[in-house]
């Protein structure tokens, strides 16, 4: 795809005595058994993904499945053992150290699970730090820093020290700081996992609000399927370093690749994910329908309407043509969580 | 040998008849045999290698030194010119500090000097210290720090104290900066770290006196040479602290630095060092304390001030004056320690420390005003002599009184211990032929840590043998062993008691904290005061100096026993005593052993200092070498002390590790 901002091809990261030599021996495609037998750990195994411009690409998986390692390979915080990373068509792995620094200064932003604020700097200085190391003068960097702080809702706390802020506030600083350089790609490694559930929800909303305004290309890591569904356009599910499946939340629910993926999707709020298109059936010949809903409408949006109507409701595509119908039974199956739907 | 014996006991706790205990029994029997037969049976070369078999390392080093100083040439400049240049550069900040604090700005040298401007008035200095105390730690610290400096003025120690302080305010920052630079280099370059780690080990075990000699040789006698010695002594912990602190910076912070696009230099300067600041400040505190620790020793190669006062009084056995100056060092140490600790503490809590500029301006204004006023009102500039108090006569009187009234008592104790413990142990140690000791050490090393440890330990012992210092070393071992024995007995008992009893701990903790801030030399004063010179006095000083870690580690060991285990014991119906014996002590044993290890290290570092009170051991060899400026001899004797220290350290640590491993292997300790 030409529109991809970030592309990973056959990416491997092995830990062990001599990863490169081992990969060479196995022609860059070692089997899982060979890896285990030789005492290596494959933190990332043969991962290929494409993140398109302006999308939120979620990487999710259980703890230890290699999410952090993958995202660190994509930003070259960790050198992959083999494979390739293309960033805006540029081979990231062959970029010189000096160019990499330039690239990070201008085109990449990253948010960390434990915030990673610099403890000795105030909120203002933390947010302005990426500009400071670029050599931007105090006056010139403080204006945008104040704007960013305002944007994440921390106006008035510019002179607080990190330890004087709550977790949620610290992460707002982390977000402001990673956005101040207006990056082309934004990495978020479990940005809300260290927060308690209420704050997490609030921050997710905040994050969505920001993204609506900014349209960043985002790699977002989480181990929480709910969060993945809330924020993600597409989700990659990882297990033991491998990418098991990539798809929209709806695709994952409708057609999970295996039981591992199905386990994640089981508890998901289906009514908020599944759309009319996914649960509609063909209208029987001469069936009466009342009204019509768009094919992209989520179940939760039209459940009441279908429930309140005597007859099935028509489903219409963008052009307004009827492509199927949704009846009470279909809605009930989603709401009651019927497994047989898959 | 005695160290080995202590270890074997620790290891043999799960006592069974095994080959190890049989071998140890054989060694013990041989040792007793050697003691009983005496000189008649053991050939002389087993006591001390004949001169012709020795390595001759000492004369080699001496010639090298001579060559360096007299002939070495780097093309553009000679070695001597280089050392001169270093000394000249270091002399500049020292001159500035002295001008501010003690001498004022002078024209000309020596007695012909004319004072152009006086130094800072005492009122200003006390004020600065109190203000810093207020800023770092609030009114209480202001009172303590200001009070300490006021004490120096009132008790007539001001002039000396300011001389000492000026060398510390220069030496400590240089030591800190050097430590930081080496630490960063060690962090960034693994190869450099691999080279530096053993060097640091050595620098911290070789007695200070040993490197006073080459410094004396290279830089001559005087305040600059003394300052260089202080820096060399005080910087190593900063190197370690820096490397550890940088490695401990959270991984995410380093990753953030990378992602923000820092250059390697920005990463260190703008991200890692500031993030590691709280830990680094702990190192800063250590450097300051170690610099103070060197005050007296440094006065042997030309530092003036309080250290010089102590040393000269000690030489003249003028106990009152010596004690007075000693107390002044302690007071200075307490003030600087509390100030730097409070500063580090504030950084740890990351308090926003208000507006620094206003504070500095106010302080500068205060200093300027007092300085100006001092020009007209002499009592503001210098504390009036008429109002100084001297405790010296009082101390001398007290000592005289004690000696008059208790001489027989003290003498009886001393004689009793000398006859019944010290001399027999000394004779026993001296009776041991070195092949037996080397073999026993190698065996213990092998049992505790395998072939590598055995080789290391035996190799170090042979190093001593090959340098012809076996008998002196055995005397050193004897002095330390008994000092450690006393310190461990008293320290472990007090530690266990304090560990069990929180109220006692609250009293004991500040006491050992204070004991550990005292320069080692200070311990010599009361010992000499009461027991005159000799082995007994030396052992007493060693015991006092080495006591604190035994107490601290024992108390910690007991406190760290999981509450769960004690409760389990109680529920099984153990008495208090059984709980202590069967549960708490065994669990705490590895920690207590580490405390003993620290005690041994401190005892060895005290060893050379006790040479001043007339022991005949390695310490004395170093000291003699110092007075004769015999570099080779001094360094070799110093290296032998380091060898003993490393042997003891590695063996005890191996024993503690084994114990801990056994413990974690078996779910329930015996
Ligand atoms: N430096 C390393 N050396 C050896 N193994 C490593 C290293 N770093 C990561 N691993 C292994 O790689 C695997 C993936 O780790 P990673 O941190 O990427 O997981 P994660 O999905 O981010 O987990 P979490 O949700 O806990 O953050 C783990 O099994 C981990 O043990
Ligand atoms: Mg992770």
> What does the buried/exposed string (b/e) look like for B357-391 if buried means 16 or more CB atoms within 10 Å of the residue's CB?
eeeeeebeeebeebbeebeeeeebbbbeeeeeeee
Probe residue for ligand 1, chosen from A66, A113, A224, A228 as the CB with the greatest number of ligand atoms within 8 Å? A66
Q: Name the CATH superfamily, with its identifier, for domain B155-345.
A: MetI-like (1.10.3720.10)
Q: Measure the CA–CA gap between B329 and B293, rounded to whole angstroms.
A: 9
How many angstroms separate the CA atoms of B118 and B281, rounded? 33
With contact defined as beta carbons under 8 Å apart, do A117 and A170 qualify?
Answer: yes
Residue B667 has pLDDT above 50, yes or no: no
Instruction: Name the pTM for this structure.
Output: 0.81
Look up residue B154 and give its two tokens.
């009132």
Number of A–B residue contacts, CB under 8 Å: 66
**Is the Cβ atom of A61 under 6 angstroms away from ligand 1?**
yes
Give the residue among B402, B400, B388 at the shortest CA–CA distance from B320: B400
Q: How far apart are CA A163 and CA A165, in angstroms?
A: 5
Tell me how far CA of residue B565 lies from CA of A257, A271, B14, B578, B660, in angstroms. 50, 53, 20, 12, 16
Residue with structure tokens 């960033």?
A87
- Contact of A181 with A148, CB cutoff 8 Å: no
DSSP string, A191-244: TTTTS-HHHHHHHHHHHHHHHHHH--EEEEEES-HHHHHHH-SEEEEEETTEEE
Q: What is the pLDDT of residues B541-555, one digit of tens each?
A: 899 989 988 998 999
Q: Is B252 on the interface with A (CB under 8 A)?
A: yes
Q: State which ligand 1 atom lies nearest to the alpha carbon of A69.
A: 18
Coil vs helix vs strand at A136: coil
Q: Given strand A185-189, what is the order of strands in its sheet?
A: A108-111, A185-189, A217-222, A56-61, A234-239, A242-247
Alpha carbon separation from B415 to A236, B149, B411, B613 (Å, rounded)? 84, 42, 6, 17
Rounded to 5 degrees, φ, ψ at A85 are -130, 120
B255 to A72: CB separation less than 8 angstroms, yes or no: yes
For the stretch B459-502, pLDDT in tens is: 999 999 998 888 889 999 999 999 999 999 999 999 999 999 98
Which three-class secondary structure state does DSSP give residue A5?
A: strand
Task: List chain A domain ranges.
Answer: 4-269, 271-341
Sign of torsion over alpha carbons B218, B222, B226, B232: negative
Protein residue whose Cα sits closest to atom 14 of ligand 1: A66
Contact B258 A77 (CB under 8 A): yes
pLDDT score at A2: 59
How close does chain A come to B263, measured CA to CA in Å?
A: 7
CB of A43 sitting under 6 A from ligand 1: yes
Q: Read off φ and ψ for residue B72, nearest 5 degrees.
A: -55, 135
Report, in angstroms and rounded to the nearest whole number, the Rg of chain B calculated over CA atoms.
27
- What pLDDT was estimated at residue A108? 94
- Residue A287, φ and ψ in degrees, nearest 5: -70, 140
Which chain B residues in 352-391 lie under 8 Å from chain A, judged by CB atoms? 352
With vertex at residue A260, the alpha carbon angle to CA A196 and CA A248, rounded to the nearest 5 degrees, is 75
Question: Which CATH number is A4-269's, of 3.40.50.300, 3.40.50.720, 3.40.50.2300, 3.90.79.10?
Answer: 3.40.50.300
Mutate to test the pocket of ligand 1, among A69, A80, A190 (most ligand atoms within 8 A of CB): A69
Which two three-digit tokens encode residue B127? 């004020």
Phi first, then psi, for residue B117 (nearest 5°) are -145, 140
pLDDT tens per residue across span B338-364:
899 888 877 766 555 556 788 888 889
**Interface pTM (ipTM) of the complex?**
0.89
Judging by DSSP bridges, how do beta strands A185-189 and A41-52 pair with one another? unpaired
Q: How far apart are CA A109 and CA B261, in angstroms?
A: 10
Closest CA to B470 of B632, B651, B637: B637
- Residue B514 burial (C-beta neighbours within 10 Å; 0-12, 13-18, 19+): middle
Q: Tell me the pLDDT tens digit for each residue of B237-291.
A: 899 999 999 999 999 999 999 999 999 999 999 999 999 988 898 889 889 888 9
Q: How many whole angstroms separate alpha carbon B582 and alpha carbon B669?
A: 8
Closest to A119 (Cβ–Cβ): which among B258, B275, B352? B275
Which of A129, A171, A175, A193 to mutate to probe the B interface, most B CBs <10 Å? A129
Q: Which of A101, A120, A163 sits opposite B261 (nearest CB)?
A: A101
- A275 phi, psi to nearest 5 deg: -105, 170
Atom of ligand 1 nearest to the CA of A61: 21
Contact B636/B69 with Cβ under 8 angstroms? no
Q: pLDDT of B60-115, one tens digit each?
A: 888 887 887 777 777 777 878 888 888 889 999 998 998 888 888 877 666 677 77
Is the distance from CB of B659 to CB of B219 less than 8 angstroms?
no
> Are A279 and A334 contacting, i.e. CB atoms less than 8 angstroms apart?
yes
Can you give the C-alpha Rg of chain A in angstroms?
Answer: 23
Give the pLDDT mean for B217-223.
Answer: 85
Ligand 1 center–CA A170 separation, angstroms:
25
**A123 and A154 Cβ atoms separated by less than 8 Å:** yes
User: Which residues are paired to B73 by β-bridges?
Assistant: B78
A75 Cα–ligand 2 center, Å: 14
Separation between Cα atoms, residue B577 and residue A214, nearest integer Å? 70
The span from the CA of B499 to the CA of B176, in Å, is 35
Q: How far apart are CA B380 and CA B376, in angstroms?
A: 9
What DSSP character marks residue A83? E
State in Å: Cα A165 to ligand 2 middle: 23
- Determine the distance from the C-alpha atom of residue A37 to the mean position of all C-alpha atoms in its chain, rounded to a whole number: 33
Atom 25, ligand 1: which residue's CA is nearest? A63
Q: Could you give the residue ranges of the DSSP H alpha helices within B349-469? A: 356-376, 378-381, 392-417, 423-431, 434-466
Please tell me the distance between residue A146's alpha carbon and the centre of ligand 1 in angstroms: 36
Of B260, B270, B271, nearest to A104 by CB-CB distance is B260
Residue A168 in tokens: 């949620």
Contacts of residue B518, Cβ cutoff 8 Å, sequence gap at least 6: B330, B333
**Domain B407-428+470-670 = CATH 1.10.3720.10:** yes
- Inter-chain residue contact A108 with B350, CB threshold 8 Å: no
Cβ–ligand 1 contact at A64 (below 6 Å): yes
Of B259, B266, B271, the CB nearest to A110: B259
Residue B39: pLDDT band by 50, 70, 90 thresholds? low
Give average pLDDT by consecutive 10-residue segment, chain A, 342 residues: 83 93 88 90 94 95 93 94 93 94 94 92 94 93 94 92 92 94 94 90 92 94 92 94 94 90 85 86 84 87 85 88 88 71 44
Cα B634-B638-B643 angle, rounded to 5 deg: 150
CA A325 to chain centre: 32
Q: How confident is the model at residue B665 (pLDDT cuts 50, 70, 90)?
A: low
DSSP-assigned letters across all residues of B84-112: HHHHHHHHHHHHHHHIIIII-EEESSGGG
**Tell me, what's the pLDDT at A171?**
94
Q: Is A113 in Cβ contact with B275 (below 8 Å)?
A: no
Q: What is the pLDDT of residues B636-658, one digit of tens each?
A: 888 888 889 889 888 988 888 88
Give the tokens for residue B10: 């620790």
d(C-alpha A68, C-alpha B643), whole Å: 48
Q: Do B252 and A116 touch (CB under 8 A)?
A: yes
| DSSP per position, B328-340 | HHHHHHHHHHHHH
Q: Residue B133 above 50 pLDDT? A: yes
B156 dihedral zone (left: phi>0; alpha: psi -120 to 50; beta): left
Question: Does residue A59 contact residue A220 with C-beta atoms inside 8 Å?
Answer: yes
C-alpha B389/C-alpha B409 separation (Å) is: 32
Give the closest residue to B403 by CA, choosing from B247, B251, B310, B532.
B532
A178 in contact with ligand 1, CB cutoff 6 A:
no
HSE at residue B612, side-chain half, CA atoms within 13 A, is 25
How crowded is residue B453: how many other Cβ atoms within 10 Å of its Cβ?
Answer: 21
Confidence class of residue B623 from pLDDT cuts 50, 70 and 90? confident
B5 pLDDT exceeds 50?
A: no
Q: Confidence band (pLDDT; 50, 70, 90) for B618?
A: confident
Half-sphere exposure for B341 (CA within 13 Å, toward CB):
11
Going by alpha carbons, the residue nearest to atom 16 of ligand 1 is: A66
Could you give the CA distance from residue B423 to residue B38 in angstroms, rounded to a whole number? 15
Extents of the domains making up chain B: 155-345, 407-428+470-670
CATH 3.10.580.10 fits A271-341, yes or no: yes
The candidate with the shortest Cα–Cα distance to B524, out of B596, B592, B610, is: B610
* Strands, sheet with A90-91, edge to edge from the N-terminal-most edge strand: A41-52, A4-15, A82-87, A90-91
């Amino acid at each position: 795809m030409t529109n991809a901002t970030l592309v990973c091809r056959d990416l491997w990261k092995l830990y062990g005595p001599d990863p490169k030599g081992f990969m060479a021996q196995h022609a860059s495609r070692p089997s899982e058994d060979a890896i285990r037998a030789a005492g290596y750990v494959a933190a990332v195994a043969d991962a290929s993904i494409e993140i398109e411009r302006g999308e939120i690409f979620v990487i999710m998986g259980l703890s230890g499945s290699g999410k952090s390692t993958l995202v660190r390979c994509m930003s070259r915080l960790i050198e992959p053992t083999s494979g390739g990373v293309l960033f805006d068509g540029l081979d990231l792995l062959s970029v010189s150290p000096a160019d990499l620094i330039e690239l990070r200064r201008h085109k990449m932003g990253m948010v960390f699970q434990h915030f990673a604020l610099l403890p000795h700097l105030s909120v203002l200085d933390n947010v302005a730090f990426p500009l400071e190391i670029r050599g931007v003068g105090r006056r010139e960097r403080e204006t945008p820093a104040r704007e960013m702080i305002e944007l994440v809702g921390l106006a008035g706390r510019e002179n607080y020290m990190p330890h004087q802020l709550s977790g949620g506030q610290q992460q707002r600083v982390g977000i402001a700081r990673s956005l101040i350089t207006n990056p082309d790609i934004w990495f978020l490694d479990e940005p809300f996992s260290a927060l308690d559930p209420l704050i997490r929800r609030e921050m997710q909303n905040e994050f969505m609000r920001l993204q609506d305004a900014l349209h960043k290309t985002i790699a977002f890591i989480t181990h929480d399927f709910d969060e993945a569904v809330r924020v993600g356009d597409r989700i990659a599910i990882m297990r033991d370093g491998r990418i098991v499946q990539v798809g929209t939340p709806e695709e994952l629910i409708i057609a999970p690749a295996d039981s591992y993926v199905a386990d994640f999707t089981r508890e998901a709020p289906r009514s908020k994910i599944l759309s009319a298109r996914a649960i509609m059936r063909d209208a029987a010949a001469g069936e009466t329908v009342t009204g019509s809903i768009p094919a992209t409408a989520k179940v939760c949006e039209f459940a009441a309407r279908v429930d309140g109507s005597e007859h099935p409701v028509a489903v219409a595509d963008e052009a307004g043509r009827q492509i199927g119908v949704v009846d009470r039974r279909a809605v009930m199956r989603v709401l009651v969580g019927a497994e047989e739907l898959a | 040998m005695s160290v080995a014996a202590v270890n074997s006991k620790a290891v043999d706790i799960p006592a069974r008849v095994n080959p190890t205990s049989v071998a140890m029994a054989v060694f013990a029997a041989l040792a007793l045999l050697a003691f009983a037969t005496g000189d008649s049976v053991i050939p002389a070369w087993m006591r001390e290698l004949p001169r012709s078999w020795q390595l001759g390392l000492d004369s080699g080093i001496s010639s090298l030194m001579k060559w360096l100083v007299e002939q070495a040439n780097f093309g553009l400049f000679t070695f001597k010119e280089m050392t001169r240049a270093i000394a000249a550069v270091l002399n500049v900040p020292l001159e500035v500090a002295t001008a501010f604090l003690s001498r004022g700005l002078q024209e000309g040298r020596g007695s012909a000097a004319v004072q152009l401007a006086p130094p800072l008035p005492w009122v200003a200095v006390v004020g600065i210290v109190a203000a810093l105390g207020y800023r770092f730690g609030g009114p209480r610290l202001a009172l303590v720090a200001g009070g300490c400096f006021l004490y120096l003025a009132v008790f007539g120690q001001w002039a000396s104290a300011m001389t000492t302080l000026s060398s510390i305010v220069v030496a400590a920052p240089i030591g800190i900066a050097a430590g930081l630079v080496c630490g960063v280099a060690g962090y960034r370059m693994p190869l450099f770290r691999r080279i530096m780690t053993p060097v640091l080990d050595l620098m911290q075990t070789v007695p200070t006196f040993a490197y006073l000699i080459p410094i004396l040789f290279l830089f001559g006698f005087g305040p600059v040479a003394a300052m260089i010695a202080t820096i060399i002594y005080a910087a190593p912990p900063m190197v370690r602290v820096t490397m550890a602190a940088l490695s401990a910076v959270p991984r995410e912070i380093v990753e953030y630095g990378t992602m923000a696009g820092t250059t390697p230099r920005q990463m260190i300067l703008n991200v890692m060092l500031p993030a590691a600041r709280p830990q680094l400040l702990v190192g800063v505190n250590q450097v300051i304390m170690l610099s103070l620790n060197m005050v007296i020793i440094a006065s042997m190669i030309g530092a003036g001030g309080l250290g010089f006062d102590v040393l000269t009084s000690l030489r003249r056995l003028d106990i009152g004056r010596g004690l007075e100056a000693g107390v002044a060092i302690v007071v200075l140490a307490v003030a600087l320690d509390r100030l730097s600790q409070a500063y580090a503490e504030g950084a740890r809590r990351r308090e926003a420390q208000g507006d620094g500029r206003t504070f500095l301006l106010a302080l500068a204004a205060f200093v300027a005003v007092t300085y100006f006023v001092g020009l007209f009102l002499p009592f503001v500039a210098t504390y009036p002599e008429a109002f100084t108090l001297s405790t010296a006569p009082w101390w001398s009187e007290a000592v005289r009184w004690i000696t008059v009234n208790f001489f027989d008592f003290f003498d009886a104790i001393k004689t009793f211990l000398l006859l019944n413990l010290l001399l027999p142990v000394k004779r026993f140690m001296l009776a041991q032929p070195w092949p037996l000791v080397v073999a026993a050490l190698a065996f213990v090393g092998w049992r505790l840590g395998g072939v590598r440890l055995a080789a290391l330990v035996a190799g170090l012992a042979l190093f001593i043998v090959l340098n012809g210092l076996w008998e002196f070393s055995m005397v050193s071992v004897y002095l330390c062993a008994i000092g450690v024995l006393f310190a461990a007995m008293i320290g472990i008992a007090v530690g266990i008691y304090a560990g069990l009893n929180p109220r006692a701990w609250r009293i004991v903790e500040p006491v050992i904290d204070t004991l550990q801030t005292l320069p080692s030399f200070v311990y010599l004063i009361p010992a000499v005061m009461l027991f005159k010179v000799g082995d007994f006095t030396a052992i007493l000083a060693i015991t006092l100096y080495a006591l604190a870690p035994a107490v601290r580690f024992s108390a910690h060991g007991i406190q760290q026993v999981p509450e769960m285990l004690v409760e389990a014991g109680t529920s099984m119906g153990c008495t208090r005593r059984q709980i202590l014996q069967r549960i708490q002590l065994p669990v705490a044993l590895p920690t207590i052993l580490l405390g003993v290890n620290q005690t041994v290290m401190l005892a060895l570092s005290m060893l050379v200092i006790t040479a001043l009170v007339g022991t005949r051991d390695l310490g004395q060899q170093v000291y003699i070498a110092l007075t004769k400026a015999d570099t080779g001899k001094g360094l070799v004797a110093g290296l032998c002390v380091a060898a003993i220290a490393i042997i003891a350290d590695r063996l005890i640590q191996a024993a503690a590790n084994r114990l801990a491993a056994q413990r974690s292997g078996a779910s329930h300790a015996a």
